[in-house]
């Protein structure tokens, strides 16, 4: 199993540009989520999904969109990048039942918005 994979590893954007951060998992996990990590603030939940076709907002959803058309993939879209979105983004996945909510994180995408 590859676990949780994320692409790209690093990206530089100009203000106003759009892009999609990719996330995929091969563990057949129902639950997937996106976090951003900023210095001194831990990880904050952006959006999450409890299954294909179902998404919901987390703590800091503004400026981001998500969709979940398959169990495996959970892309994060920035429609109009802003410097405040400079951060490291982590995708995570887990089972959603039976007390197996341990979340497995991907390696992260480092995003710089100029």
Partner 1 sequence: GENVEQHPSTLSVQEGDSAVIKCTYSDSASNYFPWYKQELGKGPQLIIDIRSNVGEKKDQRIAVTLNKTAKHFSLHITETQPEDSAVYFCAASSDYKLSFGAGTTVTVRA
Quote the least distance from Cβ 108 to partner 1, whole Å.
Answer: 5
For residue 16, give the nearest of 100, 113, 99, 101 by alpha carbon. Answer: 113
Residues of the shown chain interacting with partner 1 in the complex, contacts defined by CB under 8 A: 4, 31, 33, 35, 40-45, 48, 50, 58-59, 90, 92, 94, 96, 99, 101-108
Q: Show the 3-state SS of 13-45.
A: ECCCCCEEEEEEECCCCCEEEEEEECCCCCEEE
Q: Which is nearer to partner 1, 67 or 103 (CB)?
A: 103
In whole angstroms, the minimum distance from the beta carbon of 80 to partner 1 comes to 26
CB of 35 to partner 1, least distance (A): 8
Select 79 or 112, whichever has its Cβ closest to partner 1: 112
Q: Which is nearer to partner 1, 13 or 43 (CB)?
A: 43
């Amino acid at each position: 199993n590859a676990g949780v994979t994320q692409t790209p590893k690093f990206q530089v954007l100009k203000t106003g540009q759009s892009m999609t951060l990719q996330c995929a998992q091969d563990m057949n996990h129902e639950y997937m989520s996106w976090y951003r990590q900023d210095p001194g603030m831990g990880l904050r939940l952006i959006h999450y999904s409890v299954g294909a076709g179902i998404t919901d907002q987390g703590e800091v959803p503004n400026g981001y969109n998500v969709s979940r058309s398959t169990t495996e993939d959970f892309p994060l879209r920035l429609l109009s990048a802003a410097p405040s979105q400079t951060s490291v983004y982590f995708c995570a996945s887990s089972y959603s039942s039976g007390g197996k909510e341990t979340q497995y994180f991907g390696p992260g995408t480092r995003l710089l918005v100029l």
